[in-house]
Amino acid sequence: MNAGVPIIETRGLGKVYSAGTEAEVVALRDVDLRIERGAFVAIMGPSGSGKSTLMNLIGCLDTPGSGSYLCDGVDVSTLDAEGLAALRRDRIGFVFQGFHLLPRMTALDNVAMPLAYARVPPAERQRMAKDVLEAVGLGERSGHRPSELSGGQQQRVAIARALVNRPPLLLADEPTGALDSKTGEEILALFKRLRDEGHTVVLITHDAEVAAHADRTYIIRDGELHPERAEVAA
């Protein structure tokens, strides 16, 4: 989309939450992060480390308290609520641990749903949703509802839904957390294939074995981010 421009670039990114009249919690401190397009990066840390806060900022679900964030070359601080919503819709696909599929809708309709917000005509929605379901290996399951699919199949539907708008960035928050190890490996292999096809994949996890599948790992602890080698050397 913007050749030569990193998909994610943060400078001095910080976030402080107020826990009362006096108490403050520093969730994120001076994070500098640059991720090139086509990369597969893991951000790993324990519960409470700041990784969810960082994901919410990268995903434009929250706003930083300090520093700057450029998403695909766009300074998010210049966008109003409508602009942020459009950026999330067009440039970021989200995959979560809990799938978040609508139970009464088929796999095809779940995947097609984001296209309705983008005002894509109904026939085109169906075609695009079918294509992306086939790309994740679920073309023959397009008419099934979530209750008729395994956990791994549901996560593939969720990934297809994240990809249907063709965003350059895929944010995956503990995407294998609800899956058995074999199915988790299959989902991670799918992320590698998506990277090879030009998508940027950012994986948020607490699990070192999951993070090891990425090309590069960052460690986050007490709101501070470090490359993995810095953690190992410490």
> 168: closest CA among 92, 114, 95, 117?
92
Span 203-232, average pLDDT: 86
Q: For the stretch 156-165, what's the b/e string if a residue is b when 16 or more beta carbons lie within 10 angstroms of its beta carbon?
A: bbbbbbbbbb
Residue 127's CB: how many other CB atoms inside 10 A? 14
Give residue-wise pLDDT tens across range 24-52: 888 999 999 999 999 999 999 998 899 99
Q: State residue 232's pLDDT score.
A: 36
pTM of the model: 0.90
pLDDT at 203 over 90: yes
Span 102-131, average pLDDT: 93
Higher pLDDT pick, 140 / 23: 140
pLDDT at 230 over 50: no
Q: State residue 18's pLDDT score.
A: 81
pLDDT at 231 over 70: no
Span 148-167, average pLDDT: 94
- Sign of the CA dihedral with 226 first, then 69, 50, and 24 last: positive
Q: State residue 182's pLDDT score.
A: 93
Domains and their CATH numbers in the chain = 8-227 (3.40.50.300)
Question: Residue 125, class by beta-carbon neighbours within 10 Å (0-12 exposed, 13-18 middle, 19+ buried)?
Answer: buried
Q: State residue 225's pLDDT score.
A: 94
Could you give the CA distance from residue 12 to residue 114 in angstroms, rounded to a whole number? 33
In this prediction, residue 2 has a pLDDT band, given cuts at 50, 70 and 90, of low
Span 148-160, average pLDDT: 95
Q: What Cα–Cα distance (Å) separates residue 137 from each residue in 18, 38, 140, 226?
A: 45, 21, 8, 36
Average pLDDT, the chain: 91
Span 50-76, average pLDDT: 94
Span 157-179, average pLDDT: 93
Give residue-wise pLDDT tens across range 51-60: 999 999 999 9
Percentage of the chain exceeding pLDDT 90: 82
In this prediction, residue 3 has a pLDDT band, given cuts at 50, 70 and 90, of low
